[in-house]
Amino acid sequence: MQAMKHSGRRRSASVVVAASVVMSGAMLLGACASAPVGAEGTGGVTQRELIEDTTPVEGVSAVLLVDGLGCPMCATNVDRQFRNMAGVLSSSVDLEAGEVTVMLTGQPRVTRGQLASAVYDAGFTVRGVRTP
């Protein structure tokens, strides 16, 4: 009888731990949720239009205006998208301003759409792409 009580407690504890992990993950993802692809960005341009923009970035950097950046994990997710992208030297996320600055190598030329798509693939809404 004693063995059954301990076994039942372990299962209950496992269920509680598993539920806590699931809830924590859902809260984290919920806090970093992105708007739909058709969401409007700055100047009336939709996120879809930004992603489909094939205009090459001519300068050495670009600043992406991003909604949904709220925590260091958000910054890490965005940085991962740019880490191995050809033509990108580095990226820097400003959580407070909601901006991602991307430094470019110049070769190959990166398009505005490629940059916007990387942010979207990380799970965030792109409102605009500024170039100096």
Query: pLDDT tens digit string along 83-106?
Result: 989 999 999 999 999 999 999 999
What range does the domain containing 122 cover?
42-130
Residue 36 lies in a domain: no
Model-level pTM? 0.70
Are 101 and 79 members of one domain? yes
Tokens of 113: 């759409």
CA distance 127 to 7: 53
User: Is residue 63 within 8 Å of residue 99, measured between CB atoms?
Assistant: yes
User: Is residue 93 within 8 Å of residue 118, measured between CB atoms?
Assistant: no
Count of domains for the chain:
2
Tokens of 9: 């407690």
DSSP label at residue 46: B
Does residue 15 have a pLDDT over 50?
no
pLDDT, position 17: 40
Residue 95 lies in a domain: yes
Are 12 and 64 members of one domain? no
Only one residue has tokens 């958000």, namely 74
Query: pLDDT tens digit string along 104-126?
Result: 999 999 999 999 999 999 999 99
* Secondary structure (3-state) at 121: helix
